[in-house]
């Protein structure tokens, strides 16, 4: 089944404890992206990747890192999480940057 998977789905952590949210797609898509969803703000793009080893900042990149070492994986790294990063995170992929995006199920992160 074609899909985007994210892990973990739920995570409660404490301020400053490094964490990684994984994202994987099995559709051989070139473009991948991370978003955060907050009430009243919609989805905001954190980082995106056009292909392996090619990444760029979205609108809200501060406090996040990404890497794209393999085409299928695009992990989101929070080196030192803070409470303002409490949010619902979505990973998405698309065949090309012009195309429809396929979204993962989301990761609900709480930073205490």
Partner 1 sequence: AQSVAQPEDQVNVAEGNPLTVKCTYSVSGNPYLFWYVQYPNRGLQFLLKYITGDNLVKGSYGFEAEFNKSQTSFHLKKPSALVSDSALYFCAVRVPFRGGYQKVTFGTGTKLQVIP
SS3 track for 57-91: ECCCCCCCEECCCCCCECCEEECCCCHHHCEEEEE
The single residue among 10, 62, 69, 98 that binds partner 1, judged by CB under 8 A, is 98
Collapse the DSSP code of 21 into the 3-class scheme (helix H, G, I; strand E, B; otherwise coil) and give the result. strand
Residue 13 or 30 having the CB closest to partner 1: 30
Answer yes or no whether residue 1 interacts with partner 1 by CB under 8 A.
no
Asked if 74 and 60 touch (Cβ cutoff 8 Å), the reply is no
Answer yes or no whether residue 30 interacts with partner 1 by CB under 8 A.
no
Q: Give Cα 40 distance to the centre of its chain.
A: 20
The single residue among 1, 42, 62, 69 that binds partner 1, judged by CB under 8 A, is 42
Interface residues with partner 1 (CB under 8 A) are: 4, 33, 35, 40-45, 48, 50, 56, 58-59, 90, 92, 97-98, 100-106
């Amino acid at each position: 089944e074609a899909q985007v998977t994210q892990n973990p789905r739920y995570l409660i952590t404490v301020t400053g404890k490094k964490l990684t949210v994984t994202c994987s797609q099995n559709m051989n898509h070139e473009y991948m992206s991370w978003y955060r969803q907050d009430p009243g703000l919609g989805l905001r793009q954190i980082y995106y990747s056009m292909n392996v080893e090619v990444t760029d900042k979205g609108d809200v990149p501060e406090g996040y890192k990404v890497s794209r070492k393999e085409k299928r994986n695009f992990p989101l790294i929070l080196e030192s999480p803070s409470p303002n990063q409490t949010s619902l995170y979505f990973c998405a992929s698309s065949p090309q940057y012009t195309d429809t995006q396929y979204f993962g199920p989301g990761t609900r992160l709480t930073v205490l």
